[in-house]
Amino acid sequence: MSKIPLTIDGEKSLKKVLADLKFIERPKISEAIAEARAHGDLKENAEYHAAKELQGLTEAKITEIENALANAQVIDVRDIPETGRVVFGSTVVVYDTGKDSEITYKIVGNLESKPEEGLISVETPIARGLIGKFVEDEVRISTPSGEIEYEILSVKHL
């Protein structure tokens, strides 16, 4: 299996989510199952079936995160010298010429992507279009919603 790129912050965040699932959510679900069992007949017990379904989803999420962490290549962008070049983990400020606005992106791994917070996956068209470019470069990127044109204003390794 190939290594999954992950930032230091992404690794910390995933470890926290994993701990919450294992030590907070898992025991709550076990209690809910035990309580539903106490109600008797399990065939028509909606609470029991809902709790069992939630247990299955939670166990699948735990497995997914454990596998991701086991196969992660954790990259600390602060160890990479800043050259003005966009790399995995860097924070990039761009000027969107079409919208006349500045946007800040941090290029991260898939599992830590939160576009609404400016954390974009390395596999998105925008990140792919920015990686390897330098400050002051103008970039034209094709996205599912159309072409966008950016000027790279700054690249930081935070």
Query: Per-residue pLDDT tens for 67-89?
Result: 999 999 999 999 999 999 999 99
Contact 120, 105 (CB under 8 A): yes
The one-character DSSP state at 21 is I
CATH of 77-156, one of 3.30.420.40, 3.40.50.300, 1.10.260.40, 3.10.50.30: 3.10.50.30
* Three-class SS state of 152: strand
Is 4 or 127 the better-scoring residue by pLDDT?
127
Class of domain 4-75: mainly alpha
pLDDT of 43 > 90? The answer is no
What does the alpha-carbon distance between residue 140 and residue 152 come to, in Å, rounded to a whole number? 11
Check residue 114 and give its pLDDT: 94
Identify the band that residue 1 occupies on the pLDDT scale cut at 50, 70 and 90.
low
Buried b (16+ CB within 10 A) or exposed e, 48-59: beebbeebeebe
CA angle 125, 130, 131 (to 5 degrees): 100
pTM of the model: 0.81
What does the alpha-carbon distance between residue 5 and residue 111 come to, in Å, rounded to a whole number? 9
Contact 97, 151 (CB under 8 A): yes
CA angle 144, 150, 153 (to 5 degrees): 145
Identify the band that residue 3 occupies on the pLDDT scale cut at 50, 70 and 90.
confident
3-state helix, strand, coil split of the chain in percent (to 5) is 45, 30, 25
Query: Per-residue pLDDT tens for 96-107?
Result: 999 999 999 999
What does the alpha-carbon distance between residue 80 and residue 65 come to, in Å, rounded to a whole number? 26
Instruction: Please tell me if the domain spanning 4-75 has the same topology as the one spanning 77-156.
Output: no
Check residue 6 and give its pLDDT: 94
Q: Is 32 exposed, middle or buried (0-12, 13-18, 19+ CB in 10 A)?
A: middle
Check residue 39 and give its pLDDT: 80
Single-letter residue type at 80: I
- Ordered by start, the domain boundaries in the chain are 4-75, 77-156
